[in-house]
C-alpha cells in the first residue's frame, strides 16, 4: 500500500515536529491496511482523533458554539460517499463510508447523517471541543444569540479569521486532513474537516463536495485543503486529477492545479495527489502544508 496524507494548508503550525509525527503515524497506519479504502479511512481516523488538526476532535467552532464535521470518500470506480454538518461525530470519514457502501446516495447532511452514523455503529454524541477550542470560544466577543439573520450579520466580519488563517485568539483553522492511497491497482481518496472558525451555523465548505474537497478516477486521486468556498468555486481536486489524466506526473499535476486556483480566486489552498502506480505529489500556495508518504512505490 502506498499512501500520502496531509494535515491542512494554512499558516505555519506552532508545533510542526509534533504534528509531523502524528502525520507520519497516520500514514503508517494507512500503509498497513488491506485495501485503499481502508487505508485512507485508517489514516484520516487517526488525524480526526488528534486535536492538533481541524477534523473531528478540535474542529472549528461555528457561530452557535457547536463543532460540525464533514467528510468525503471516493474510489477510482467513481463510487462516492459524503456526510456533512454533523454535531458530535468524531469520525466523519466513517459516516462517509457508510453513505458510500450502505445507501444509494452521494451525500447525507445534518441530524439525519448523525442518525445514520448511530445506526451503523459510528460513535455519536462526542464532545468535539478540545481544551484549546473551548478556551478560544470563551474568548469570543458577543457571540450571536438571535435568529439566523443575527448570526449571518455577525459572521460577516469574523468568518475564517484573518488572511493568515488565524482568528484573534490565534486559532489555525485550515487544518483539514486528507489521504490518497493505492495498492498498485485501486485508488481511494478521502478528506475530513471541522470546517472554518466562526462560520455561520450549518455552513458546509468544500470537503464533502465531490470534485472540490476530494476526487478519484482510474487516473488517480486527490484531496484538497484550504479556503473551502474558493476550493469549491474551482473544483480543485477534480482539476488536479484531470491534470493527472492529461499525462502530468503527480507533482506537476498538483502544482498546475494550485497555479490555476490562484489565477481564479483570492484564497489559499493545498492539494495532494497520487497515481495508481504510486507517484505522489503535493502543492500549496499558503504559508505551509505538512504531508507524509508511506509505503513503497
Q: What is the pLDDT along the chain (297 residues), one digit of tens a residue?
A: 999 999 999 888 888 999 999 999 999 999 999 999 999 999 999 999 999 999 999 899 999 999 999 999 999 999 999 999 999 999 999 999 999 999 999 999 999 999 999 999 999 999 999 998 998 899 888 899 999 999 999 898 888 654 334 444 334 445 799 999 999 999 999 999 999 889 999 999 999 999 999 999 999 999 999 999 999 999 999 999 999 999 999 999 999 999 999 999 999 999 999 999 999 999 999 999 999 999 988
Residue linked to cell 488536479: 240
Catalytic residues: 176
- Kindly give the pairing relationship between strand 80-87 and strand 107-109: parallel
Q: In this structure, are residues 88 and 124 in contact, taking their beta carbons and an 8 Å threshold? A: yes
**Bridge partners for 6 per DSSP:** 178, 291
Q: Residue 213: name the closest of 246, 194, 197, 190 by CA.
A: 190
For residue 155, give the C-alpha cell: 459572521
Instruction: Give the pLDDT of residue 174.
Output: 59
- Kindly give the pairing relationship between strand 220-226 and strand 214-217: antiparallel
E strands, 144-278, in order: 177-182, 187-193, 214-217, 220-226, 269-274
Q: What is the CA 148 to chain-centroid distance, rounded? A: 26
**Bridge partners for 61 per DSSP:** 67
Q: What is the CA 135 to chain-centroid distance, rounded? A: 23
| 288 sits in which H/E element | strand 288-294
Q: Residue 172: name the closest of 58, 87, 86 by CA.
A: 58
Amino acid at each position: 500500500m502506498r499512501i500520502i496524507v496531509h494535515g491542512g494548508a494554512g499558516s505555519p503550525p506552532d508545533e510542526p515536529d509534533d504534528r509531523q509525527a502524528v502525520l507520519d503515524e497516520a500514514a503508517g497506519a494507512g500503509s498497513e491496511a488491506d485495501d485503499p479504502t481502508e487505508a485512507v479511512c485508517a489514516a484520516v481516523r487517526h488525524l480526526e482523533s488528534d486535536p492538533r488538526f481541524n477534523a473531528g476532535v478540535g474542529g472549528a467552532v461555528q457561530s452557535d458554539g457547536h463543532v460540525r464535521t464533514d467528510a468525503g470518500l471516493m474510489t477510482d470506480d467513481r463510487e462516492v460517499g459524503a456526510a456533512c454538518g454533523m454535531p458530535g461525530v468524531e469520525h466523519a470519514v466513517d459516516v462517509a463510508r457508510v453513505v458510500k457502501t450502505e445507501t444509494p446516495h452521494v451525500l447525507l447532511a445534518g441530524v439525519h447523517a448523525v442518525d445514520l452514523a448511530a445506526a451503523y455503529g459510528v460513535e455519536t454524541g462526542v464532545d468535539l471541543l478540545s481544551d484549546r477550542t473551548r478556551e478560544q470560544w470563551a474568548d469570543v466577543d458577543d457571540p450571536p444569540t438571535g435568529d439566523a439573520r443575527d448570526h449571518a450579520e455577525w459572521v460577516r466580519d469574523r468568518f475564517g479569521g484573518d488572511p493568515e488563517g488565524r482568528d484573534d485568539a490565534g486559532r489555525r483553522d485550515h487544518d483539514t486532513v486528507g489521504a490518497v492511497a493505492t495498492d498498485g491497482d485501486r485508488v481511494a481518496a478521502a478528506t475530513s474537516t471541522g470546517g472554518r472558525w466562526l462560520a455561520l451555523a450549518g455552513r458546509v465548505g468544500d470537503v464533502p463536495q465531490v470534485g472540490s474537497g476530494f476526487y478519484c478516477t482510474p487516473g488517480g486521486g486527490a484531496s484538497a485543503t484550504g479556503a473551502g468556498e474558493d476550493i469549491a468555486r474551482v473544483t480543485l481536486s477534480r482539476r488536479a486529477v484531470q491534470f493527472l489524466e492529461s499525462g502530468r506526473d503527480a507533482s506537476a499535476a498538483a502544482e498546475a492545479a494550485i497555479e490555476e486556483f490562484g489565477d481564479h480566486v483570492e484564497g489559499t489552498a493545498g492539494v495532494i495527489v497520487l497515481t495508481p502506480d504510486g507517484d505522489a505529489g503535493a502543492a500549496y500556495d499558503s504559508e505551509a502544508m505538512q504531508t507524509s508518504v508511506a509505503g513503497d512505490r
